[in-house]
Amino acid sequence: MRGALIVFEGLDRSGKSTQCLKLVEALNSKGITSMSMRFPDRSTTVGKVINDYLAFGVELSDEAVHLIFSANRWELASKIKKLLNEGTTVIVDRYSYSGVAYSAAKKGMDMKWCKNPEIGLPKPDLVVYLQIGTEELAKRGGYGAERYENVLFLEGVRENYSTLMDASWLVILESFIFVT
């Protein structure tokens, strides 16, 4: 039986990583083989370039950055497909939707253009969006340490997520997020 691809999306520091790990633990405890992945995956060759960019170590054009983030997902696409076909449920902390929402929030970046490099990646069976206010995010530990962690920019990202969402997404409101 094929595993499920479950993607957690949301703004920086919304609790995606915590909820992904909790879901993996819960599924594994029920005998459902599962594992987590996160994007960007900073351990890969492309991921190391992304890490340098996010930590303000290197400057790149917005288009190049978007394509590099997409390439990071493509680096692991065959691994995701293999795991799913072997019956493993893959829980992903950020995926294509983040790439599009964040890139399209930059001045001059077109959402349609941002979607194109994502075509052909494994499609999620479920997208869980953690909705939380930017003011609340700014109160969380470590906020502001990376390039995109500023309230004004994240408001644009939030608007883009709203555009990308469809009726199949599970939206979990801030008051229901159990981050520990």
5 CB burial (10 A radius; 0-12, 13-18, 19+): buried
Q: If you write DSSP's letter for every residue of 73-130 in order, what string do you get?
A: HHHTHHHHHHHHHTT-EEEEES-HHHHHHHHHTSTT--HHHHHGGGTTSPPPSEEEEE
pLDDT tens per residue, range 69-85 = 999 999 999 999 999 99
pLDDT at res. 5? 99
What is the mean predicted confidence (pLDDT) over 34-59? 91
Mean pLDDT taken over the chain = 90
Residue 153 neighbours by CB under 8 Å, 6+ apart = 105
pLDDT tens per residue, range 18-30 = 999 999 999 999 9
pLDDT tens per residue, range 146-174 = 566 677 888 999 999 999 999 999 998 76
Kindly report the CA angle at 16 between 18 and 121, in degrees rounded to 5?
Answer: 130
Note if the pTM is more than 0.95: no
CB 177 within 8 A of CB 15: yes
All domains of the chain, ordered by start, with CATH?
5-176 (3.40.50.300)
